[in-house]
Amino acid sequence: MKKTTDHLSDGREIIYFDADDDGRDHHPDLRDLPPVSTTSQLRHDPLLNEWVVLASHRQDRTHLPQAAQCPLCPSRGDRRTEVPAPDYRVVVFENRFPSLSAAAEQPNDGTALVPRAPGRGRCEVVCFSSDHDGSFATLSPEQARLVVDAWADRTAALSEHPAVEQVFCFENRGEEIGVTLSHPHGQIYAYPFVTPRTATMLDSARRHHDRTGRNLFADVLAEERAAGERVVASSAHWTAFVPAFARWPVEVHLYPHRQVTSIPELDDHERDDFARLYLDVLRRFDRLYDRPLPYVAAWHQAPVSTGHDLAYLHLQLSSTKRAPAKLKYLAGSESGMGAFVTDVLPEDVAARLRAAGTEPTEEES
């Protein structure tokens, strides 16, 4: 992998990821951009013991532009975008409308009950391909592997920032999920705190270890592999399964067979193997109904400074689509109480995904 770092006209960093033998010329950003907002702040919820991020400037972010106005496509001719180069393989840049910013300013003082803090951290955009009409599922295994390497690189780099406590790589796909740009891309959030979901999982893992002496995530993986009925696909280094406790209509977890805590710890074989298995699972998703499935793909990694003895890297892939023309909405029980009620059985979803298997292309064989 070859990295080329540059800066956009408002000072944001942009990083191109290419194959080792690819050359890359410098292409300056010729746009006249206003400064990036630094007004993000945190407020602590004493009822749930959680931080809430307030970023009101994001109301003005780009929303579902026409393909000809996509800000994630390469810059060509007189059309200037977030990517100054006329083409790219994988590119990462700081978000123009960040929820968190390294330069976030200290907000007005809160109270002893509800303290406030600057929303310091970093938000990055990861463009998986320059092809506006593609998706992660249409990437080649080599291109998908380059994305994995970019995730690993950014996780390692962002973890070095003194304000960062957790790095979260994710993809939102589909308007039903709330995506505002249709170009194939994901995001990375570098939080100044440990997120609530991670804190809950690590607390559960600690209690499980204290009770059994074993790793909770490894036990979940072992139980699913032994049962087999919810396994969607597996390979030499990874298993994809619908968990017995799935709460979303379509939900698949991808676990490496070796316990690691973050993406940078994956070796070359595990990264190659993940790229192929993940593409297989995504293509199964897209064959379930009459059009591509909306989803959220969320990497669970260990926080920067805690939980490394308990964490187990895995990816959760979930969709709100419960039927071809029906979505799962978070209604009273889910939104009001956080108690999920699902009307599909994990075993049935796993069977449908196995049946939706795709034959490997000649390139993948």
Q: Give the tens place of pLDDT for each residue, 111-137.
A: 999 999 999 999 999 999 999 999 999
| Assigned domain for 18 exists | yes
Q: What is the pLDDT of residue 55?
A: 94
Q: What is the pLDDT of residue 358?
A: 61
Same domain, 211 and 348: yes
| Assigned domain for 305 exists | yes
* Per-residue confidence band for 359, with pLDDT thresholds at 50, 70 and 90: low
Please tell me the distance from the alpha carbon of residue 358 to that of residue 279, in angstroms, as a whole number: 10
To the query of whether residue 185 is one of the catalytic residues in this protein, the response is yes
Query: How many domains is the chain partitioned into structurally?
Result: 2
Q: Which of 7, 161, 185, 237 is catalytic?
A: 185
Q: What is the pLDDT of residue 365?
A: 40
The CATH number that applies at residue 286 is 3.30.428.10
Instruction: Examine the fold and report which residue of 157, 178, 195 is the final residue of a domain before the chain moves on.
Output: 195
| Assigned domain for 364 exists | no
Q: What is the pLDDT of residue 62?
A: 84
In terms of Cα–Cα distance, which of 184, 294, 293, 300 is closest to 253?
Answer: 300
Write down the H helix ranges in 160-215: 196-212
| Assigned domain for 361 exists | no
Is 123 annotated as contributing to ligand binding? no
Same domain, 201 and 191: no
| Assigned domain for 22 exists | yes
What is the span of the domain harbouring residue 17? Answer: 2-195
Same domain, 211 and 323: yes
- Is the confidence at residue 361, as pLDDT, over 60? no
- pLDDT tens, residue by residue, 167-187: 999 999 999 998 989 999 999
Beta carbons of 128 and 107 less than 8 angstroms apart: no
The b-or-e profile of 254-274 (16+ CB within 10 A means b, else e) is bbbbeebbbbbbbeeebbbbb
Same domain, 160 and 24: yes
Is 169 annotated as contributing to ligand binding? no
Tokens of 166: 């957790």
Please tell me the distance from the alpha carbon of residue 320 to that of residue 328, in angstroms, as a whole number: 5
| Assigned domain for 256 exists | yes
Count CB neighbours of 332 within 10 A: 9
- pLDDT tens, residue by residue, 257-298: 999 999 999 999 999 999 999 999 999 999 999 889 999 999
Please tell me the distance from the alpha carbon of residue 278 to that of residue 284, in angstroms, as a whole number: 10
Same domain, 261 and 131: no
| Assigned domain for 360 exists | no
Please tell me the distance from the alpha carbon of residue 289 to that of residue 21, in angstroms, as a whole number: 40
Same domain, 34 and 137: yes
Is 73 annotated as contributing to ligand binding? yes
- Is the confidence at residue 364, as pLDDT, over 50? no
Same domain, 163 and 218: no
Is 132 annotated as contributing to ligand binding? yes
